Amino acid sequence: MSSLIIYFSRTGGNYVAGDIRNLEKGNTEIVAEMIQKLTGAELFEAEPVVPYSDDYSACIEEAKNDKKRDARPELKKYPEHMESFEKIYLGYPNYWGTMPMAMFTLLEHFDFAGKTILPFCTHEGSGLGDSVRDIRRLCPGADVRPGLAITGSRAAQAEKEVKKWILKEEKECRI
């Protein structure tokens, strides 16, 4: 089964375990790379044309405004040959109870009917929020599996948890 990891991640100021820290690599990217290492799936980073601010406070205001406006930020590019992928690992940080609105843009760009979508998110206490419900709404006909929520401050130490999730999903997809 051909697999693709699509993820949105951000560097710069991030809320990590109660503090604002400057991250050179985003937490979601760290988890996406773990999934790639464990599955051999291709990686694709979803990047908005206009990136969110590196300043954490400004970023959360931008993300809040995007959600309020139900915005669909333009992306720099989209995955190629999407029809050749059967399984999509979909990663994002939890922004205001769901995915960043750029992920909505990406999901509305393709028909995911018949594909398996495995959501994973990074967060600092809010888990998956409404993101799985939103993915199901945006991707009718897709098999949207239970998601994996990783605390961002633990992303680099989450390989065991990620591996367990992947193995469980692989087993369930074969049944």
172 pLDDT higher than 80: no
Q: What percent of the chain has pLDDT over 70?
A: 98
Question: What angle do helix axes 56-69 and 101-109 make, rounded to 10 degrees?
Answer: 50
171 pLDDT higher than 80: no
- Give the helix ranges, DSSP H, for the chain: 27-39, 56-69, 101-109, 131-138, 159-174
Per-residue confidence (pLDDT) for residue 174, from 0 to 100: 61
The reported pTM is 0.95
Per-residue confidence (pLDDT) for residue 68, from 0 to 100: 97
DSSP state of 74: P
56 pLDDT higher than 50: yes
Give 82-123 pLDDT, tens digit per residue: 999 999 999 999 999 999 999 999 999 999 999 999 999 999
148-174: average pLDDT: 89
Q: Is 134 helix (H, G, I), strand (E, B) or coil?
A: helix
Domains and CATH numbers, the chain: 7-157 (3.40.50.360)
76: tokens are 């720099």
17 pLDDT higher than 90: no
